[in-house]
Amino acid sequence: MFDVTIIGTGIVGCAIARELSKYKLSICVVDKDTDVANGTTKANSAIVHAGFDAKTGSLKGKLNAIGNAMFDKLSEDLDFHFKRIGSLVLCFDGKDINKLHELKEQGIKNGVPKLEILDRDKLSEMEPNISKDVVAALYAPTGGIVCPYEMTIALAENAHTNGVEFNFEREVTNIEKVENSYAIKTNKGDIETKIVINAAGLFADEINNMISKNEIHIMPRKGEYCLFDKSVGNMISKTIFQLPNKMGKGVLVTPTVDGNLLIGPNAMEVEDKNDLTTTTEGIDEILSKASLSIKQVPVRQVITSFSGLRAHSTNNDFIIGEQIDAENFINAAGIESPGLSSAPAIAEMIRDIVVDKLQPKKNDKFNPIRKGIPKFREMNNEERKGLIAKDSRYGKMICRCETVTEGEIINAIRRPLGAKTLDGIKRRTRAGMGRCQSGFCAPKIVEILARELNLKPTEVTKFGGNSNILVGKDKETI
């Protein structure tokens, strides 16, 4: 019997797991996928919003600024990248400036510090590549960028180190109330638990509706993105939003924490919760909308496009708390933007509920510190020499675009909750994320994965399931 079982290993599930590992609780986390961060967390804008956007009084409005303020400490303790680069909301029409002021007022009510309206001159100075049509902007210095899967991996590893049990490829098929506990039915047997926390992202409605008559509905809402080569990553220095107008919500243009340029997303309701396809129309739409914000969209520098699905709840706000008709079943559902920014605050909110119910003691052995994989590309030559002297595999280059060594890849496989797939390696080391998009390193990484995990090369997958990279040996079918 576990004290707490968390369903879902996205940013929210992992933040909760890590937060609860500060207490003497037996905690289990389950996920249907092979790795953490495989749903909404893996594909979004990767923005830590300042917090002026959501309606005051909503959970989104309340938790965003609180969560935002927690990132500095978290990134330091858990060794993930976070840059507080600031954000701008661009206004293209003098008649709309009052809307900037409204946003600013809302931000102040939401607890966002240091908001400022900037005129054209100040903007040009700040962002020389911004479009000539911009007349003013709302500047939020606390806005930031982060890598959502890097952060989630860090949270999960730290939770794991502090005693949380992780179960992958374990799909929840039903939840049953048993006396004072729950039996979570899965494809790999039952899990008995006192408390269930539903952090199942796009599937949080299905989980909730297994146990509660108070149904919720999650609509997958697709957003498409284009990612650009690092050579244009410094075109702008801040996250640039567009003031919503009659043309719609607009798209953002932002540097990523790894130094690329990212634009997107659009928004489209889709039926299928696995529909991560991109469309010509969608990509055209975001490219054309982005051209309003910056002088020239460097279309020739696109290295990949992708889409993500927002877990949009039909009541338009986060659903956080104990379900009214299911005692000890706690939702962290409907977590869409600003979900990433709010995640640390959501975790604390859930913690308060759990602590209130179970009154656990503090875990004196809790270690808040997690060290990431050494990053060759970020080191100076002296540090590199030291690393190679200790382990020569850090001198063997595997991914030339992102400068990732064999040492880093082996570390990614062998560390707690280590990588099992090509995407797992990619998200832990960035191997395959560069301008050649894994053309050169994929064969080498397949080989390393096979060797380290004692698999046949044909058993290595991109992201689990039937996503095998290779289907057989040469001439096998002749």
Residues near other proteins (CB under 8 A) are: 226-227, 231, 274, 276-280, 282-283, 300, 302-306, 381, 384-385, 388-389, 392-393, 395-397, 400, 403, 435-440, 442-443, 446-447, 457-458, 461-463, 465-478
Q: Which is nearer to other proteins, 276 or 358 (CB)?
A: 276
The single residue listed with the structure tokens 């020499």 is 385
Q: Which is nearer to other proteins, 114 or 390 (CB)?
A: 390
CB of 207 to other proteins, least distance (A): 21
Q: Is 330 in contact with 354 (CB distance < 8 Å)?
A: yes
| Half-sphere CA count of 372, side-chain side, radius 13 A | 23
Torsion of CA 462, 252, 237, 296, to 10 degrees: 100
CB of 187 to other proteins, least distance (A): 17
CB of 157 to other proteins, least distance (A): 25
Residues 6 or more apart whose CB falls under 8 angstroms from that of 41 comprise 10, 11, 148, 149, 152, 201, 340
CB of 410 to other proteins, least distance (A): 13
Q: Is 339 in contact with 319 (CB distance < 8 Å)?
A: no
SS3 string, 372-392, reads CCCCHHHCCHHHHHHHHHHCH
Q: Report the alpha-carbon distance of residue 306 to residue 308 in Å, rounded.
A: 7
Q: Which of 49, 81, 160, 312 is catalytic?
A: 49
β-strand partners of 312: 219
CB of 206 to other proteins, least distance (A): 18
Q: Report the alpha-carbon distance of residue 88 to residue 239 in Å, rounded.
A: 6
Q: Which is nearer to other proteins, 246 or 471 (CB)?
A: 471
Q: Which is nearer to other proteins, 192 or 275 (CB)?
A: 275
Q: Which is nearer to other proteins, 19 or 35 (CB)?
A: 35
Q: Which helix (H) or strand (E) holds 60?
A: helix 59-69
Q: Report the alpha-carbon distance of residue 311 to residue 343 in Å, rounded.
A: 14
CB of 287 to other proteins, least distance (A): 9
Q: Is 239 in contact with 128 (CB distance < 8 Å)?
A: no
101 is catalytic: no
Q: Which is nearer to other proteins, 110 or 256 (CB)?
A: 256
Catalytic residues: 49
